[in-house]
Structure 1
Amino acid sequence: MGYLMLLVVRVVLCVYMFMMFHFACLSSSHLCHSQDSSALLHFKTQKYYYEYEYESEYEYECPHVYPKMSTWENGTDCCSWMGVTCHSVSGHVIGLDLSCGALVGNIHPNSTLFHLTHLQTLNLAFNFFNHSPLSSQFGRFVSLTHLNLSDCQFKGEIPSQISHLSKLQSLDLSFNYGLMWKETSWKRMLQNATALREIVLDETDMSSISLTPNPLSNWSFSFSLVTLSLGYTEIRGYLTSHILCLPNLYELKLDGNEDIQVHVPKLNCSTSLSFLDLSSCQSLGSQIPDSFSNLTQLTFLDLSDNGFNGSIPSLLSNLQHLTYLDLSFNAFTGSFPSFLSNLHHLVYLDLSLNTLSGKLPSSLFALTQLSSLDCSNNEIEGPLPDKVAFLNLTQLYLDGTIPEWALSLKSLRSLDLSNNRFRGHISEITSYSFEYLDLCNNELQGNFPESIFHLVNLTYLCLSSDNWSGIVHFPLFSKLQNLEYLHLSGCSSLLLKSETSVNHTFSNLWALQLLSSNITGWLEFSGKFPNLDYLKLYNNSLQEKVPEWIHGMDSLTYLNLSHNNFTLMDHFPWYRLQNLDLSFNSMADDISCFFCNATFLEIINLSHNKFTGTFPQCLANSSSPVDLDLQMNKLHGTLPDTFQDLTTLNLNGNQFEGLLPKSLSECSELVDLNLGNNQFEDTFPNWLQNLSKLEILVLRGNKLYGQIVNLKSENIFPSLIIFDISCNNFSGSLPKAYIQNFRAMKIVHDDVQSPLSYIEADWQVIHGTTEYDSSMVATIKRVSLPLTKIPRVFVIIDLSENKFEGEIPDDFGELHGLIGLNLSHNGLVGHIPHSLGNLTNLESLDLSSNMLSGDIPTELINLNFLEVLSLSQNQLVGPIPRGKQFDTFSNDSYEGNTGLCGFPLSIQCNNNVPLQQYPSSEAEDKFGFGWKPVAIGYACGVVLGIGLGFCVFSIGKPEWLVVLFGGKWTKRRSRGNRRRARTTLFQLLVVM
């Protein structure tokens, strides 16, 4: 009986287990909740996405972008779909990860995405949501613990409903450059989301937020905080001990916030902070705060680019756990700090861009973990540790030959000796661990060592010079199958053609630069570049049509074939090309439909060719081209009036006609507009005045006419620094309202204290070089001066050769940044304004061929940098001022003014007028020298003048002299003395 009962129990258990298994199978096969499945499928229909996988620009976050929603199919279980996570019991969707999902478009408030009210984690990072606003509907996800919308291109105010997410533990809205926090929304979020452990808001706008709100209770969430990352948010306030002493804070990033100050006199707490980034804050003071010595748990410390000076403080020796230390781009002086050798865990040390001197201490050799050392841009000498894996000694003015030990360190993986003065041959490389080798911009010569082709681990190789000899067989580089970047220049003979029938494949190469070399065998080259993204074949005298092997590169996004002799482009398969530079060739294609199959082109430079045809209508209709340079070609016809999003439009030197396209006023990002030297016939385009970013406006050499209306506005061309409307038929008075509102011209850019900057497009940077710069042909005193880059100190106004009348407004004297002013060949009357003496940066002043009267203002003597002066063909009277630059100008500057007298004219002034008018002693003190050096210079100048006169009459006008005094100026920057040097005759006289 007992046995029978046991058997029954077993049968019942088996039946029960079978039924449970059956129901489990049924429930698992239909796990997804039907409403959530429907919402996801509808969301899929609302989004646009690419149908293919491609490599992402976010290399570390998502190496590949893939349309995850393309795998979602109706009739299948949504819990099995890519990126979807469901609750194991209810079947509701609780997790959605569509990061790197190739999503494009807007997320509208009525999107079915917001029907997924059970979501706990949502990740939409690295998609493109079209600069649309961040919907308030995100506040419906009240169960969310993790929200990641990083780099989604949202913009506008962050909705206050974000504070409804009270369960949030992680919030990442970083790299949405247009997102802006209101103080009320920020405070409300801090009060409600008390469980937050991670806040990442880098490069959002927090300019209205203070880092140290009062009372501190507004930061009540902060006691659970582990990560606070607010880099480049423009947040302001003080970094205090209240933040540094948060009990669980591990990582703090405040880099790039210039209004952050440190107020930590003492640090009486046990801090857990391990990662601290305060780079590029600029307001931290001149010294590293002493209290930082108590941050003993730090493993990562970045204090670069803060202007710290003096010796590197010994307080850093207390930070014994440091593995990463960056003190670069400051003003530290003195010798290399020996106490750094006590930081035994250091792996990365960067002291570059300071003013340190002397030798590296031998105790540094004891840092056995150190694998990356950057001492570049200092005056530090060797010897060096023999176990370092990364060595950067660029721009140290090192000379001699490259030491053999640098090419034989067995552990060295990265060596950068670029931009020095190394000479001679490269010795054989005996270390095969190199992954990065940069020897560019030295004075090396001879042949490449054979051992280079044995460095099978190389991913980066730069070997530019001017004196490579022998034949360089390019196919040999295909042995380096890991190579991703290759830069060669200055080869006396670079043979592309293979000597065998083998087709060489460069499997991983993505960037190739072959510059200024004698390339041969390029038409017969048959190499394959399956992953090449960037190709630059600049200045190689290549001829005829673009070869087939270039046409076959469908992975290219950047192509530069400029400064060659190509005559034909033929039908190029544009595919993914984003940047095209064919400038300075001899191409004569008709470009009317040249780019109509170009989907992604954003930068197009076809300047200085012989292209024909009309302006491609498809370019004007497209929103893709941003920088367009077609200057100096043979294009004709009228321009379409459908322009959209341009940054640069340069059509100078063609044969365009008709009206100026008013659609340009809709291009809010326009920086450079050059329509000069065409046949446009229209009135002045005052509808461009509100383009707040426009820096260059050139309309010279057209048939423009009429008066320039003095509009009543305080926002007329606020950023303009080059204004050239010369050689037209404009009439009436000079545009006074414009002159008054040229705000950018009133700013003097100090290129002494800061590096010379150029007008450029913010685009792809390869090896530190911006790949598109604005260019123009500037005309100074009728001398054409081509500028391949336009410095921001190049501030000019040219209104010459028009029909302007009336007086010269005093307002010109407020444009302190001007270096060139040309009002010649008009009908201007009245006196030369004394206010022009305030333009102390002026280098060229041309007021010739007007009807100006009165005397020459003595205030003009103050123009120390004036090199070109023309006041000829006016009605000026009285003595010519004497002193400084005025003693350097010739008769040509004053001819045609019968009432002028004094040096350099042969007409002497009468006895009632002093022959020489020297500046007062006050002026001498202000400008640094008085009349005595001028007199000395003048005396020496007699000797020089006789010599130059003999030279001129013997051999004609020397070309160098014409160039020197015909309007061209130069600037020099020296390492020891960075004051601007001017090539003026006065300086030559004083030197003699």
Structure 2
Amino acid sequence: MRIFTKLSAPLSLCLLLVFLCLKTAISSSIHASSFSTTHLCSHEEALALLQFKTSFSINYTVPHPDYPDYCVDRFYTKPNYSKIESWKEGIDCCSWDGVSCDNVTGHVIAVNLSCSFLYGTFPSNSTLFSLRNLQSLNLALNDFRLSKIPPEISQFTRLKHLDVSSSQFSGQVPREIAHLPKLVSLNLSSYFYDDSPELILETTTFRDLVHNLSEVRELVLRGVNMTSVNPRFFMNLSSSLTTLVLWESALRGNFPNSIFRFPNLKNFYLSGSFGERNLTIDLPSSNWSSPLQRLFLGDMDCGRRLRESIGDLKSLQFLYLGCNLEGSIPASIGNLSQLTYLSIFSNNLSGQIPPSLANLTQLTSLDLSYNQFSGPIPASIGNLRQLTFLALSSCNLSGQIPPSLGNLTQLTHLYLSYNQFSSPIPASIGNLRQLTELSLYFNSLSGQIPPSLGNLTQLTYLSLAHNQFSSPIPASIGNLRQLTSLHLYYNNLSGQIPPSLANLTQLTFLYLSDNQFSGMLPPWIFTLPLLEALHLDHNQFQGQISQFQQNSLTNLDLSNNKLQGSIPNSIANLVNLEILDLSHNNLIGKIPNCLPKSLSLLNLQANYFDGNIPFGFPEGCGLLNLNLHGNQMDGLLPRSLVNCRMLEVLDVGNNNISDTFPYWLESLPHLQVLVLRSNKFHGSVQSTKESPSFPKLRVLDLSSNDFVGALPVRYIENFNAMMDPHRDGGSPEYMKVSTGDNSYQYSLVVTLKGFDYELQGILTIFSSIHLSNNKFEGEIPDVMGKLSSLKGLNLSHNNLIGHIPPSLRNLTNLEWLDLSSNELAGKIPDELSLPMSYSLQLFQSVHFWWNLHFEIVNTWHCWYKSSSEIVK
């Protein structure tokens, strides 16, 4: 008994412990069973979600190229995957992608269908609204086909988070959205699309929203039209606000700067409409919101000066100020020790870059481009060893590029273009082995391109254009095997292209124009497999053009060299070629019949090509510009040119073409420049149509041919493009053809004051008529006075008779007028006998050679330089 008694206490304790463990296990089992049962979503809610699914199709044709990457990066979604694909009957809806349930009740409390490629009209009676326990709804980045946000959204009385950004909703934001009192975050933004549908937030709706959303912490309204909203209403927002995003929301007026004193504000983004300055905010001189971590102010005016108080924002990590600031950057900016991103891009800041920036040792990105600083880059910038991005372009900086930049070994992007830097590039730049882009163009850098650049083996983009570099290209550039773009144009580089550049097999763009390169064109240059644009123009290359062995070129410019021989038939291999300029060389022979059908521009001007112009312009010909000026072409003008329906410029001047006037060109609806000068064209210039048309023609040069008969009145009556001097509006532009990242300006030879000039660009407002040195007869038609946009009119050296029509007084844009060597009679009309001061305004270069039949009323013999701004 004593033994039993002695053992009974421990045994009893053991039994008690076993009992308690079993009870806990049973209780846990019962609770787990209960939990698993209640965790299943109700049949009604599952059915509501399945019916909602049937309202839309899935469309993986995304409206913006950045859309998939954005979804993956921000929302961690799979590429080309819609979450509703997992929504299937018979499976617990709480396990569906994008659906979350309450752990106790099993009710659906969150639906996240962001980036689910939903496509279709959002129904106002959607079954989604039956989910009355919903606390979070995310429909971002779908396509609801310009649907309106349904007012029924107010039925989600427990909703805390609502995100419908970039889902193609349009129209007015419903007032009912303000009846969601528990909202903590609201995002109505539009992100990607310039032509996105517009959401409009009216004053009354916004006022209700501000009044009712007493718990809101995040309010994101980027791209929402809030033109009618007075910015002062934002002061009534909840003091718990942490994030306010108002990019491109069309706000106007003065935004109160007390926003900076909100006690919990961490993120504030505010900008006016792009390109406008209708919104202002005065940066406070003190008492900034100390929690502020991210501040963005763009496309607006923020009080002109950046105050010293900016240094009080000790928590700031991100700062973007593009708001018309003037004055200097205060030294206190160096106090922002937490800053990782700083952009004061595109302002009017002056003075020197403060050395205190060197204190911002956490910076990874610094952009001060497009300002009016003076002096050099402070050497202390080399202390910012965390920088990966540095942009100081267009800052008016001068002096030497500091060698200390070589300390920034984490840099991937360095932009110092459009400044006044001089001296050679420091060799220390070769230390930046992580660089992928280096831009130094438009400076005054001189000396040799440093061989140390060959160390930058990660470079994909290198531009040293528009400087004063001399000597050959260092062979070490051939080490940059990742390079896709190499820009060395407008320098004084000499010698031959180094063979090591053949290693740059990733090159897409190679620009070596306007240098002093010489020797033969290296054959390997036409074998680079990915090359799209090759510009070797304005050098001293000699010899023949090599065979073309690759077909990726779209843009080839070998003009203004000393090339000889003929165009190889292998040009046909360049099946993607759009621009071909071989002008101003010594090329001979026939133009191949096998030119690529993809050509938009063909410029063979100023060579020695002979024979007929190829007759094979096929149906669908895409030529915009055909320039064969100054060769030895003969035969007829091929009628197959009518297949080139997009043709804007046709210049076959200074050849030996013998043909009648090509009236059949009337059918080309876009033809603006027609030059047939100095050939053997003959016959009359008359249309065979009852309603002749050259509706867009602005330049007509038929001079120095054998045309006879009356001036082409029926054509002149239809030169509509020459009749309105203000037809283009805005600033004049140059005619050009664009292919990808390249644009190419058209050129034109005109005769001014008896001399030929080559205009290196044809302004869209430029118009002229040259009919001189023919055998035209009869009178100058009165309708000539309707061509009010004419810059030049030359009817000299013909057999014209009669009087000068008074209607010529309407040609108020004339810069030169030549009626000499005709049989005109009478006197100069009083309308043209203007005071000399006024004649300078109207006729900047007027020269009349009057013959003896004139009764001299005024003698004008005034030569003025004409159109000097467009004559190179």
TM (normalized to structure 2)? 0.68
2:507 corresponds to which residue? 532
Cα deviation for residue 429 of structure 1 reads 2.1
1:970 aligns with 2:856: no
Equivalent position of 1:601 in the other structure: 577
Structure 2: 5+ residue stretches without partners = 1-63, 71-78, 90-96, 99-112, 129-138, 155-161, 177-184
- Per-residue CA shift, 1:668-720, capped at 9, x if unaligned? 543333333334444544554565544433333333442232966697424x4
Work out which of the residue numbers 848, 853, 858 in structure 2 matches 1:893.
Answer: 848
> CA offset at residue 486 of structure 1?
1.5
Partner of 1:786: 758
Q: Which residue of 2 aligns with 1:262?
A: 227
**What pairs up with 1:501-516 in 2 under 5 angstroms?**
505-515=479-489, 516=491
1:562 CA displacement: 0.9
- 2:461 is aligned to 485
Tell me the equivalent position of 1:428. 403
Name the counterpart of 2:51.
none
In the alignment, is residue 677 of structure 1 matched against residue 677 of structure 2?
A: no
Given that residues 484 and 506 in structure 2 are in contact (C-alpha distance below 8 angstroms), is that contact kept between their aligned partners in structure 1? yes
Superposition map of 1:512-911 within 5 A: 512-515=486-489, 516-520=491-495, 522-525=497-500, 528-566=503-541, 567-591=543-567, 593-619=569-595, 622=597, 624-635=598-609, 636-639=611-614, 640-642=616-618, 644-689=621-666, 691=668, 693-704=670-681, 705-709=683-687, 716-718=694-696, 720-728=697-705, 729=707, 731-736=709-714, 738-743=716-721, 746-748=724-726, 757-765=733-741, 770-860=742-832, 882-885=836-839, 893-897=848-852, 899-901=854-856
Taking the aligned partners of 2:638 and 2:245, their CA distance within structure 1 comes to 54
Distance in structure 2 (CA, Å) of the matches to 1:675 and 1:192 = 69
| Cα distance change, pair 742–345 in 1 and its aligned pair in 2 (3 A) | farther
Alpha-carbon shift at residue 589 of structure 1 (Å): 3.6
1:372 pairs with 2:342: yes
Aligned-residue offset at 1:263: 2.9
Q: Give structure 1 stretches of 5+ with no counterpart.
A: 1-56, 64-80, 92-119, 122-142, 150-159, 175-184, 203-210, 218-222, 863-880, 907-963, 973-981, 983-992
Alpha-carbon separation, structure 1, partners of 2:796 and 2:125: 67
| Change in 2 beyond 3 A, CA 1:382/1:420 | closer
CA distance in 1, matches of 2:660, 2:754: 24
- Distance in 2, matches of 1:421 and 1:796, equals 40
C-alpha deviation, 1:760, in angstroms: 1.8
**3-state SS of 1:595 partner:** helix
Answer whether contact 1:740 1:811 (CA < 8 A) is retained: no
Distance 1:607 1:359, change over 3 A: same
CA drift at 1:593: 1.9
How far has the Cα of 1:811 moved from its partner? 4.7
Is 290-299 or 646-655 further displaced after alignment? 290-299
Task: Please report how far the alpha carbon of residue 479 of structure 1 lies from its aligned counterpart in structure 2 after TM superposition.
Answer: 0.7
SS in 2 for 1:717: coil
Distance in 2 (CA, whole Å) between partners of 1:659 and 1:685 is 10
Q: Deviations over 1:391-419 (max 9, x none)?
A: 55556565544442345544444444445
2:735/2:764 contact within 8 Å kept: yes
Partner of 2:277: 308
AA of the residue aligned to 1:847: L
Cα distance in 2 for partners of 1:167, 1:337 equals 54
8 Å CA contact 2:186–2:219 kept in 1: the answer is no
The structure whose RCO (Cα within 8 Å, separation 6+) is larger is 2
Contact residue 420 and residue 441 of structure 1 kept, 8 A:
yes
The correspondence of residues 209-220 of structure 1 with structure 2, limited to 5 A, is: 212=171
Question: How far apart are the structure 2 equivalents of 1:667 and 1:162?
Answer: 47
User: In structure 2, how many angstroms separate the alpha carbons of the residues matched to 1:466 and 1:263?
Assistant: 47
Give matches, 1:161-200, under 5 Å: 197=164, 199=166
Asked whether the equivalents of residues 734 and 806 of structure 1 are also in contact (C-alpha less than 8 Å), the reply is no
Q: Is the 8 A contact 1:568 1:588 kept in 2?
A: yes
Does the 8 Å contact 2:146/2:197 carry over to 1?
Answer: no
Letter of the 1:595 partner, please give it. Answer: I
**C-alpha deviation, 1:564, in angstroms:** 1.7
- Kindly indicate whether the alpha-carbon contact (under 8 Å) linking 2:353 and 2:373 is maintained by their aligned counterparts in 1: no
Paired amino acid for 2:493: N
Q: 1:318-467 residue pairs with structure 2 within 5 A?
A: 323=294, 325=296, 327-328=298-299, 334-336=304-306, 345=316, 347-351=318-322, 354=324, 356-367=325-336, 368-369=338-339, 371-376=341-346, 378-384=348-354, 385-386=357-358, 387=360, 389-394=364-369, 396=371, 398-406=373-381, 408-419=383-394, 422-430=397-405, 431-432=407-408, 433-464=410-441
Is the 8 Å Cα contact of residues 861 and 886 (structure 1) preserved in structure 2? no
C-alpha displacement at 1:451, in angstroms?
0.9
Residues 607, 497 of structure 1: alpha-carbon distance in 2 compared, 3 angstrom cutoff? same
Deviates more, 1:386-395 or 1:531-540: 386-395
Would the aligned equivalents of 2:526 and 2:546 in 1 still touch at CA under 8 Å? no
Map 1:48-127 onto structure 2 (within 5 A).
none
| Equivalent residue number for residue 32 of structure 1 | none
Aligned AA for 2:510?
L
Amino acid at match of 2:854: G
Output the CA distance in 1 between the equivalents of 2:525 and 2:554: 15
Q: How many residues align?
A: 726
RMSD (Å) for aligned C-alpha atoms: 5.5
Distance 1:429 1:685, change over 3 A: farther
Q: For residues 88 and 811 of structure 1, do their structure 2 counterparts lie closer, same or farther at Cα, with a shift above 3 Å needed? A: same
Displacement of 1:637: 1.5
Q: Distance in 2 between matches of 1:685 and 1:506?
A: 53
Within 2, Cα distance between the matches of 1:666 and 1:781? 37
Task: State the partner residue of 2:180.
Answer: none
Mark the CA change 1:254 to 1:852 in structure 2 (over 3 Å): closer, same or farther. Answer: farther
Bigger CA radius of gyration:
2
Taking the aligned partners of 1:750 and 1:318, their CA distance within structure 2 comes to 50
Distance 1:788 1:215, change over 3 A: same
For residues 528-567 of structure 1, the C-alpha deviation after alignment (integer angstroms, 9 at most, x for no partner) is 2132211111233323322245344212111111112222
Identity of aligned residues (%): 28
Tell me the CA shift for residue 798 of structure 1: 2.6
Q: Amino acid of the residue matched to residue 697 of structure 1?
A: L
Shift in CA distance, 365/162, structure 1 to aligned 2, threshold 3 Å = same
Per the alignment, in what secondary structure is the counterpart of residue 349 of structure 1? strand
Where 1:618 maps in the other structure, the secondary structure is: coil
- How far the C-alpha of 1:582 sits from its partner, in A, is 1.0
Shift of 1:376: 4.1
Q: Distance in 1 between matches of 2:122 and 2:195?
A: 18
Kindly indicate whether the alpha-carbon contact (under 8 Å) linking 1:830 and 1:854 is maintained by their aligned counterparts in 2: yes
